[in-house]
Amino acid sequence: MLRKILESGALGRRVGNAGLWTFIGFASGNGLRLISNLILTRMLSPEVFGLIALAQVFTNGITMLSDVGVKASVIRSTRGEDLAFLRTAWSIQVFRGVIVMGVCCLMAWPAALLYDQPILFSLICVLALSALIRGFQSISVATANRKLLIKTITLLNIYSQIATLVVTVFAAWQLQSVWALAIGAVVGTTLTVALSHRFLPSFEHRFTLEPEALREIIGFGKWILLATFFTFLGGRGQQAVYGFLFPIEVIGLIAISTLLASVPNDLFRSLLNTILLPSFSEIMRERPKQLPRVLRKVRLFTIGLAFPMFFAVSFMAQPIIELLYDDRYVGAGLILALMALNMAVPTLSATYQNLLLAKGRSDLHALLMFLWATGTVAGIVLGFLTFGLVGSLVGVGLAMSLMFFINIAIAMRRGYATVSLDIVAFFIIVVVYLMTLWTLDIPPSYLSPELVHQIFE
């Protein structure tokens, strides 16, 4: 389907193969992640998942705060296959890993005090090892993505995920604590990095900082850095805000719901980031007049396939939770129902965001992510103060809706908006959302900030 959308010829053939392997990678990755989650939730308590979620708020946040868009720079740059450029990109990647680990370790003790969870200190320090190790990943990962050679990357990820699953489950069986998840994360990262050097095309990595390449990467990436930080704050950073509002067990429920609600979102994010960013970049370099027609087809494809998946997850949320998890996690059903609908809204804006990056407008992308992050945090806090846990979830949905309309305004000004399609799609989401709120059986503890601690009673 994507091959036809992005036209025929060499790009179409590469897109077809990349799309197939992206879907295989998505299906296998999420399947393995779900299997791991189902096994681990029977071995570990919701509190364990709440602790790892809080620790990852800091490690992932600092990682994203340091993201200067090395991979995106390689994909979009005209020098994306130049030796000096690639060595400079890899060197920046390594230095970033060292810096991230150092900052994480410095932040670990304040984080433990902030949430009154002493174990967070050592937990964050151990998880920070993953950032250091990830810095040494082969730059061939970026060049393979540039050329849409997704097969090898997909197989590499599957192998490392299987090994990580085995290690994590064994560690959980032996330790019965949050350390099993931390060990699994570090081992998984180590395997992924090792396999990237073993199975991807050989590249002679050397520490190099060519001034011209450095200026190009940093010039483009300084805005990516801000954008990824704001993306984190509005996404995974939600759990940092939740940590101040809810007990650790409720955060565990939110983490489980996020995992399940993210399945459709991850699929389309994979397709957009892995296939459409390189494809849009190539179309703009070689045949820009075809872009509006291609964009409309992509949006029709995305909306038509994504919405039924999000709606199905929302509608079946409680049965899914009751089927997959034991009674300790039954409260996640209501959270999952609303969270799945929240994640449907950004699907409308995702192609516009990729197009901005393909055009090199990382500055505008960063501004949009800032608006989204601040709106999301405000939505969570104001929603919680008004209607407790349910209010905080609805607040996220309202923030994402605001982001959608800002994206439409920018797209209209730049001449590539599909306004009628966007409005109809958004109206459908609103109707489904209101019907879901009307039909859900919501306990008082989910609607009151004062009664939130009774969710587990």
Mean pLDDT of 321-346: 84
Residue 296 amino acid letter: R
Which pLDDT band, with edges at 50, 70 and 90, does 230 fall under?
low
pLDDT digits (tens, 9 = 90+) for 306-326: 788 889 888 988 888 888 887
Report residue 454: phi and psi, to 5°: -90, 0
pLDDT (0 to 100) of residue 85: 83
Residue 112 amino acid letter: A
Alpha-carbon torsion 71, 73, 77, 82, what sign?
Answer: negative
Alpha-carbon torsion 183, 179, 238, 36, what sign?
Answer: positive
DSSP, res 105: H
User: Can you give the three-state secondary structure of 295-340, one letter per residue?
Assistant: HHHHHHHHHHHHHHHHHHHHHCHHHHHHHHCCHHHCCHHHHHHHHH
Q: Rounded to an integer, what distance in angstroms lies between the CA atom of residue 82 and that of residue 95?
A: 20
Whether the predicted pLDDT of 455 surpasses 70: no
pLDDT (0 to 100) of residue 116: 81
Residue 216 amino acid letter: E
Please give the residue range of the domain that contains residue 342: 2-454
pLDDT (0 to 100) of residue 270: 66
Whether the predicted pLDDT of 224 surpasses 70: no
CA 97 to chain centre: 19
Q: Rounded to an integer, what distance in angstroms lies between the CA atom of residue 381 and that of residue 388?
A: 9
Which pLDDT band, with edges at 50, 70 and 90, does 138 fall under?
confident
Mean pLDDT of 162-175: 86
Q: Rounded to an integer, what distance in angstroms lies between the CA atom of residue 240 and that of residue 256?
A: 15
pLDDT (0 to 100) of residue 287: 63
* Percent above pLDDT 70 for the chain: 75
pLDDT digits (tens, 9 = 90+) for 191-212: 888 888 887 777 778 887 878 8
Structure tokens that stand for 141 in this block: 């990962």
Mean pLDDT of 139-165: 78
DSSP, res 201: P
pLDDT digits (tens, 9 = 90+) for 394-412: 998 898 888 888 888 887 8
pLDDT (0 to 100) of residue 275: 60
Closest C-alpha to 238, from 97, 113, 393? 393
SS3 content of the chain, % helix, strand, coil (to 5): 85, 0, 15
* Percent above pLDDT 90 for the chain: 1
Whether the predicted pLDDT of 14 surpasses 70: no
pLDDT (0 to 100) of residue 22: 67
Count how many Cα atoms sit within 13 Å of the Cα of residue 33 in the half-sphere of its side chain: 17
Contacts of residue 193, Cβ cutoff 8 Å, sequence gap at least 6: 133, 134, 136, 137, 138
CB 188, CB 160: distance < 8 Å? yes
CB 397, CB 380: distance < 8 Å? no
Structure tokens that stand for 245 in this block: 């509002």
pLDDT (0 to 100) of residue 431: 92
First-last CA distance in the chain:
49
DSSP, res 247: -
- Site of tokens 């994010």: 269
pLDDT digits (tens, 9 = 90+) for 232-246: 665 666 666 777 777
Mean pLDDT of 37-58: 80
CB 343, CB 261: distance < 8 Å? yes
CB 64, CB 229: distance < 8 Å? yes
Q: What is the mean pLDDT of the chain?
A: 77
DSSP, res 202: P
pTM of the model as a whole: 0.60
Q: Rounded to an integer, what distance in angstroms lies between the CA atom of residue 411 and that of residue 317?
A: 34
| Helical pair 179-199 and 119-134, crossing angle rounded to 10 deg | 0
DSSP, res 276: I
The dihedral region occupied by 388, where left means phi > 0, alpha psi between -120 and 50, and beta the remainder, is left
Query: Cβ of 214: how many Cβ atoms within 10 Å?
Result: 16
Number of domains in the chain: 1
Looking at 66-149, list the stretches that DSSP marks H as alpha helix, in order from N- to C-terminal side.
70-76, 83-114, 119-134, 140-146
